[in-house]
Copies of this chain bind each other. A is one copy, B any other.
């Protein structure tokens, strides 16, 4: 059987991956959940038809959203991950013995269960005793927190549909309050290439600027994502990224993508992206 999973990166652009089999699929209360097996990308998680993560390149994303803030000046002990059900981000966080607690908030219990059953990394990641899972609406969860986290990672899909509330000014304001003074908010900014993503990027950037004094973004290559890359937003109350502190090296943390040079270079953005991030909409 010649089976292809196609994801539209834009109306007239799609990436298709040949699939050996659909390992699992269901319609949960919230969304369609699918786990696919492919030769080129390994196991793939798709939610509502959108590619969330693949075995082959998930570390390019997970390492960059974790090691960049962890190797910034801030002394990070308490972390909140919103989403993160596939376990990639948790796996990277757990490499730091300096982290004391990791709260994970996810809306869809079934999605968590499916990931734990079909993605080996997810099962392992949730076994770390520092991890506390909350099946809740993230907006409501964050609203109740104050001065509680040194790092919040919004490990969500694109800012459409189910995840829209995670890209609002209200949500960012709640994150601000939930963070400590030296806290960092990491969230995905889509790419700056296709028109739909450019519009999303500008909205996210404007809303963050209305809440946080420090806002920047950095680049990571993720071949299975639209345009082959993702911009990751870095917001804080004062902390700036700059040079790596080398903490990952101190703990001899092994990475496929991240290193101290990439830490710095990821913030050097192409002109067309810099212009988008600085221009008013």
Interface size, chain A (Cβ < 8 Å): 45
**B residues in contact with A17, CB < 8 Å:** 12-13
The answer to whether A264 touches B271, judged by C-beta atoms less than 8 angstroms apart, is no
A33 to B223, CA, bound (A): 27
Tell me which of A22-30, A82-90, A153-161, A250-258 binds B. A250-258
The answer to whether A16 touches B18, judged by C-beta atoms less than 8 angstroms apart, is no
- A20's closest neighbor in chain B, by CB? B12
Q: Does A15 contact B (CB under 8 A)?
A: yes
Which chain A residues (244-281) contact chain B, with CB distance < 8 Å? Answer: 255-259, 261-262, 264-272, 274
Task: Please report A residues at the B interface, Cβ cutoff 8 Å.
Answer: 6, 10-18, 38-41, 57, 60, 191, 193-194, 219, 221-223, 225-229, 255-259, 261-262, 264-272, 274
Picked from B15, B194, B272, the residue with its CB within 8 Å of the CB of A257 is B272
A274 to B255, CA, bound (A): 12
Picked from B258, B265, B270, B272, the residue with its CB within 8 Å of the CB of A271 is B258
Q: What distance in Å separates the Cβ of A93 from its nearest Cβ neighbour in chain B?
A: 19
A242 to B228, CA, bound (A): 26
**B residues in contact with A6, CB < 8 Å:** 16
- A14's closest neighbor in chain B, by CB? B16
**B residues in contact with A259, CB < 8 Å:** 268, 270-271, 274
A-B pairs with lowest CB-CB distance, top 5: A228-B228, A12-B18, A265-B265, A265-B268, A261-B268
6 contacts between A and B (CB under 8 A): A6-B16, A11-B18, A191-B223, A259-B270, A259-B274, A261-B269
Picked from B38, B229, B257, B269, the residue with its CB within 8 Å of the CB of A270 is B257
Beyond A193-B223, A257-B270, is A38–B18 a contact (Cβ under 8 Å)?
A: no
Picked from B223, B266, B272, the residue with its CB within 8 Å of the CB of A228 is B223
**B residues in contact with A226, CB < 8 Å:** 223
The answer to whether B228 touches A270, judged by C-beta atoms less than 8 angstroms apart, is no
The answer to whether A13 touches B16, judged by C-beta atoms less than 8 angstroms apart, is yes
**Additional A-B contact list (20), CB under 8 Å, known A11-B40, A13-B16, A264-B265:** A6-B16, A12-B17, A13-B17, A13-B40, A60-B270, A193-B223, A219-B221, A221-B221, A221-B270, A225-B228, A227-B228, A228-B229, A256-B271, A256-B272, A257-B272, A259-B268, A259-B270, A261-B268, A261-B269, A262-B269
